[in-house]
A = this chain, B = another copy of it.
Amino acid sequence: MAITGSTEVRSGPIRLGMVGGGKDAFIGAVHRIAARLDNEFQLVAGALSSTPERSVESGLALGLDRDRIYGTFEEMAEKEAARPDGIEAVAIVTPNHMHYPAAAAFLTRGIHVICDKPLTSTLEDAEKLVKLAKESAALFVLTHNYTGYPMIRQAREMVQNGELGTIRVIHAEYVQDWLTVPAEKSGSKQAEWRTDPARSGAGGAIGDIGTHAFNLLSFVTGLKTVELAADLHRFVPGRRVDDNAHIMLRLENGAKGMLWASQVAPGNENGLSLRVYGDKGGIEWFQEEPNKLWFAPFGEPKRLITRNGPGAGPAAARVTRIPSGHPEGYLEGFANIYAEAARAIRAKKAGEPLPSDVIFPTVEDGLAGMKFIDACVRSSEKNGSFVTL
Residues of B with C-beta under 8 A to A324? 269-270
Residues of B with C-beta under 8 A to A291? 288, 329
Known: A301-B309, A321-B331. A39 touches B39 (CB 8 A): no
Is A281 touching B267 in the complex (CB atoms < 8 A)?
A: yes
Is B282 touching A294 in the complex (CB atoms < 8 A)?
A: no
Complex: A321 Cα to B31 Cα, angstroms: 12
Is A275 touching B265 in the complex (CB atoms < 8 A)?
A: yes
User: B-contacting residues of A (Cβ < 8 Å)?
Assistant: 1-3, 8-12, 23-26, 29-30, 32-33, 36-39, 60-63, 168-169, 171, 176-178, 180-181, 188, 190, 229, 231, 233, 235, 244, 246, 248, 250, 256-258, 260, 262, 264-271, 275, 277-282, 284, 287-291, 294-306, 309-311, 321-332, 383-386
Complex: A332 Cα to B266 Cα, angstroms: 27
Least CB separation from A299: chain B residue: B310
Known: A39-B36, A328-B330. A61 touches B309 (CB 8 A): no
Residues of B with C-beta under 8 A to A282? 177, 265-268
Residues of B with C-beta under 8 A to A23? 2
Is B304 touching A302 in the complex (CB atoms < 8 A)?
A: yes
Is A298 touching B177 in the complex (CB atoms < 8 A)?
A: yes
Is A246 touching B256 in the complex (CB atoms < 8 A)?
A: yes
Complex: A260 Cα to B266 Cα, angstroms: 21
Cβ-defined partner of A332 (8 Å) among B12, B188, B331: B331
Closest approach, in angstroms, between the C-beta of A311 and any C-beta of chain B?
4
Known: A321-B331, A330-B328. A264 touches B277 (CB 8 A): yes
Is A169 touching B262 in the complex (CB atoms < 8 A)?
A: yes
Closest approach, in angstroms, between the C-beta of A12 and any C-beta of chain B?
6
Least CB separation from A166: chain B residue: B235
Complex: A1 Cα to B342 Cα, angstroms: 28
Residues of B with C-beta under 8 A to A323? 26, 269-270
Known: A270-B323, A299-B310, A311-B300. A384 touches B246 (CB 8 A): no
Residues of B with C-beta under 8 A to A302? 267, 303-304
Cβ-defined partner of A2 (8 Å) among B11, B25, B264, B280: B25
Residues of B with C-beta under 8 A to A306? 269, 301
Is B248 touching A231 in the complex (CB atoms < 8 A)?
A: yes
Residues of B with C-beta under 8 A to A246? 248, 256-258
Residues of B with C-beta under 8 A to A325? 176, 268-271, 287-288
Least CB separation from A326: chain B residue: B330
Closest approach, in angstroms, between the C-beta of A242 and any C-beta of chain B?
11
Cβ-defined partner of A8 (8 Å) among B29, B235, B330: B29
Is B256 touching A258 in the complex (CB atoms < 8 A)?
A: no
Complex: A258 Cα to B169 Cα, angstroms: 15
Complex: A61 Cα to B7 Cα, angstroms: 9
Complex: A301 Cα to B302 Cα, angstroms: 9
Complex: A181 Cα to B166 Cα, angstroms: 13
